[in-house]
C-alpha cells in the first residue's frame, strides 16, 4: 500500500510532463519529452558512459561522507556530553552552518588545488557540520536515569560512554548521517560542475547544458535523483534494523 | 549490618535558599532484612536511597556499608521509572548481562547462564530473547528487578518500583519480590507510597515525618518470612495499617 501510494505522485508528474511536452506547451529545447529523456538515459547506461560518471560521483561523495562521519560522530558525542565543549564550539559551528559550502569553493581551491581532494574537502566540511549537530543533539537526549543506573551497577565513565551514551545517541547519529549522505551527493555534483574535472554526473549535466544536449542533461538529472533515492532507501533499511526500538 | 548514622542532608533551592531534607537521621538494616519506608512526598525517602547508593554524599553523619568503597556489585537499585533504565536496544537477557559485563571477570557463556537463571526465578525465561518494548508493564518492571539482582547484591534499593502499575499486577509482583528476597537473604530498603505494599513487603515499616525526614515510628511486621496475599485481609494487617496511618497523620499535623 505504501509503495503504491508513493508512486502515485511521480506517475502523475511524468504524465503532466508528457502532456506539456507533446502538446508543444513547453519548447523541447527547455524540456524534452519524458520518452526522449528515458531513451537517452537507457542509451547512456548501456554504453557505459553514465555508469562511469556515476561511479566517479559516488566514489567522491561516499569518500567525503565517510570522512565526515568519522570526524563528525565523535566530535558530536563529545559536544553533546560536555557542557564546556558545547559552549566552546557551538557558536563557531552555528556560524559555519550558515555559510553555504559553495561560497567557500575559492578557499578550498586555494588549499587543495583543483583535483578530487578539494571536492571531497567541501563535502567533508558540509556533511561533518550536519553530523556533529545531529549527533550532539542525540547525545544530549540520553536519559540521566539510565546513566545513574549504570553508575550504581559500578560502571566506569568508559562503560557509560560505550554501553549507554553511544547506543542511546544512535537515533540522532542516524538522522545526521541520512542528511549528510544526501548532502554529500548534492555537494559533490555541484563541485563537479564548478571545480575542474572531466568525469562525474555534475560534469555530465553541466557539459550537456552548455552544448544544448537537453535530453542528456535531463537524463543526468534523473539519474542523480534515482541514485539519491536509492541511497536514502538503503540507509532507511539499515536504520530500521539498527534502531528497531525507536518509536516503540 | 548497614548503618545510617546521624545523617543530615540539605539541598539548594532554585531561589538560592537551603532546604533541609534529612536531619540527624539514623537507621540500621540487618543482613537479609527488608525495611520499607513510608512517608509523605519530599520527606527524604529517595534521598536516603541515593545516600546508600553513594550517588549523594551526606552533609553530616555517616553511611556505613560492610564492604569497601571500591567493590563493585554490592548494591542493586530498582528505579521508579523503569522505562528509563532498561536498554531498549538490548534483549531482556542482554539487559541482565549488562551489570555482569560491567563487573567483568565472567565469560559470555557464564553471563548468559546467570541471566537465564535469574529470569527463571521470576518466571521470565520464556521472554529472554524478546526486546523490552515487547513486554507488558508488569514484566518490564520485573526485568528491572532481575537486572538489579542478577549479580546478587548485598543491598537492594527500591524506589517505588510498582507505583506505575495497577493494583492487581502490583500485588502479584509483591509476592514474587518478597519470595525472591527472602530466598536470597538480600537486605533491602524499599520506598513506598502504598501502605499495603509497605506492610506486605517489609519486615519493618519506618514511618517518616514530613521534611526534614525523621523516623516517627519503626514498626516490626509480625507475619514471619513466608507470606501470602490473603494476609492483607487479616485483622492484624488492618491493625498495623491503622497504626501507620495514625502515626502518619499525627506527623503531618505536627509539621503543619
Q: Which residues of chain A have pLDDT under 50?
A: none
Instruction: List CB contacts (< 8 A) between B88 and chain A.
Output: 245, 248
Radius of gyration (C-alpha) of chain A in whole angstroms:
22
Whether A152 sits inside 8 A of B87 (CB atoms) is no
Candidates B142, A245, B182, B137; CA nearest to B128 is: B142
Residue numbers of B between 148 and 207 with CB closer than 8 Å to A? 151, 157
What the block records as the C-alpha cell of B251 is 506527623
Whether A153 sits inside 8 A of B98 (CB atoms) is yes
How far apart CA A72 and CA B101 sit, in angstroms, is 29
* For residues B110-134, average pLDDT: 93
Is the CB of residue B57 less than 8 Å away from at least one CB of chain A?
no
Query: What pTM was computed for the model?
Result: 0.83
What the block records as the C-alpha cell of B20 is 533541609
> Quick one: pLDDT at residue B42?
83
Q: How do residues A136-165 score in pLDDT, each as one tens digit?
A: 999 999 999 899 999 988 899 999 999 999
> Quick one: pLDDT at residue A79?
95
Q: Which of B84, B132, B144 to mutate to test the interface with A (most CBs of A within 10 A)?
A: B84
Whether A163 sits inside 8 A of B102 (CB atoms) is yes
- Put the strands of the sheet holding B75-78 in their side by side order: B75-78, B155-159, B187-192, B34-38, B204-208, B215-220
Q: Which of the four pLDDT bands, split at 50, 70 and 90, describes residue B167?
A: confident
> What is the chain A residue with the closest CA to B88?
A245
> Quick one: pLDDT at residue B222?
92
Instruction: List CB contacts (< 8 A) between A159 and chain B.
Output: 101-102
Q: How far is CA A13 from the centre of its chain?
A: 24
- Taking 80 as the threshold, does the pLDDT of residue B190 lie above it? yes
> Quick one: pLDDT at residue B163?
84
How far apart CA A112 and CA B141 sit, in angstroms, is 57
Is the CB of residue B131 less than 8 Å away from at least one CB of chain A?
yes
Q: How do residues B27-80 score in pLDDT, each as one tens digit?
A: 999 999 999 999 888 888 989 999 998 888 999 999 988 877 666 678 999 988
Whether A244 sits inside 8 A of B75 (CB atoms) is no
> Quick one: pLDDT at residue B105?
84
Instruction: List CB contacts (< 8 A) between B53 and chain A.
Output: 152
> Quick one: pLDDT at residue B71?
66
Amino acid at each position: 500500500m505504501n509503495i503504491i501510494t508513493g508512486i502515485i505522485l511521480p506517475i502523475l508528474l511524468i504524465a503532466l510532463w508528457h502532456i506539456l511536452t507533446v502538446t508543444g506547451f513547453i519548447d523541447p529545447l527547455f524540456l524534452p519529452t519524458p520518452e526522449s529523456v528515458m531513451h537517452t538515459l537507457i542509451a547512456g547506461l548501456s554504453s557505459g558512459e553514465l555508469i562511469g560518471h556515476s561511479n566517479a560521483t559516488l566514489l567522491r561523495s561516499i569518500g567525503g561522507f565517510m570522512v565526515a562521519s568519522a570526524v563528525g560522530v565523535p566530535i558530536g558525542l563529545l559536544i553533546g556530553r560536555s557542557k564546556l565543549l558545547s559552549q566552546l564550539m557551538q557558536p563557531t559551528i552555528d556560524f559555519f552552518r550558515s555559510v553555504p559550502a559553495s561560497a567557500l569553493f575559492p578557499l578550498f581551491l586555494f588549499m587543495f588545488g583543483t583535483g578530487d581532494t578539494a571536492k571531497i574537502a567541501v563535502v567533508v566540511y558540509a556533511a561533518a557540520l550536519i553530523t556533529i549537530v545531529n549527533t550532539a543533539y542525540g547525545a544530549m537526549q540520553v536519559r540521566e536515569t539510565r546513566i545513574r543506573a549504570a553508575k550504581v551497577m559500578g560502571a566506569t565513565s568508559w562503560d557509560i560512554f560505550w554501553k549507554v551514551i553511544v547506543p542511546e545517541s544512535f537515533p540522532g547519529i542516524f538522522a545526521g548521517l541520512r542528511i549528510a549522505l544526501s548532502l554529500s551527493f548534492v555537494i559533490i555534483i555541484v563541485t563537479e560542475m564548478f571545480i575542474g574535472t572531466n568525469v562525474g554526473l555534475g560534469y555530465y549535466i553541466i557539459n550537456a547544458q552548455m552544448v544544448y544536449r537537453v535530453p542528456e542533461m535531463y537524463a543526468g538529472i534523473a539519474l542523480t535523483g534515482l541514485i539519491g533515492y536509492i541511497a536514502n532507501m538503503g540507509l532507511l533499511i539499515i536504520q530500521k534494523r539498527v534502531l528497531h526500538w525507536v518509536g516503540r | 549490618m548497614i548503618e545510617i548514622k546521624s545523617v543530615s542532608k540539605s539541598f539548594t533551592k532554585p531561589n538560592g535558599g537551603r532546604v533541609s531534607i534529612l536531619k540527624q537521621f539514623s537507621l540500621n538494616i540487618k543482613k537479609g532484612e527488608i525495611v520499607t519506608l513510608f512517608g509523605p512526598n519530599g520527606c527524604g525517602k529517595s534521598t536516603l536511597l541515593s545516600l546508600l547508593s553513594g550517588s549523594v554524599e551526606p552533609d553530616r553523619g555517616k553511611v556505613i556499608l560492610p564492604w569497601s568503597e571500591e567493590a563493585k556489585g554490592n548494591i542493586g537499585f530498582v528505579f521508579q521509572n523503569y522505562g528509563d533504565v532498561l536498554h531498549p536496544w538490548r534483549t531482556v537477557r542482554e539487559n541482565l548481562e549488562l551489570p555482569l559485563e560491567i563487573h567483568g571477570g565472567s565469560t559470555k557463556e557464564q553471563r548468559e547462564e546467570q541471566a537465564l537463571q535469574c529470569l527463571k526465578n521470576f518466571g521470565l525465561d520464556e521472554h529472554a530473547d524478546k526486546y523490552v518494548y515487547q513486554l507488558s508493564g508488569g514484566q518490564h518492571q520485573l526485568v528491572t528487578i532481575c537486572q538489579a539482582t542478577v549479580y546478587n547484591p548485598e543491598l537492594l534499593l527500591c524506589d517505588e518500583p510498582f507505583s506505575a502499575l495497577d493494583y492487581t499486577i502490583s500485588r502479584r509482583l509483591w509476592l514474587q519480590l518478597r519470595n525472591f528476597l527472602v530466598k536470597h537473604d538480600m537486605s533491602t530498603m524499599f520506598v513506598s507510597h502504598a501502605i499495603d505494599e509497605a506492610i506486605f513487603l517489609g519486615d519493618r515499616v519506618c514511618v517518616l515525618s514530613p521534611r526534614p525526614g525523621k523516623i516517627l515510628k519503626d514498626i516490626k511486621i509480625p507475619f514471619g518470612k513466608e507470606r501470602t496475599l490473603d494476609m492483607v485481609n487479616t485483622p492484624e494487617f488492618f491493625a498495623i495499617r491503622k497504626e501507620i496511618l495514625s502515626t502518619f497523620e499525627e506527623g503531618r499535623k505536627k509539621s503543619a
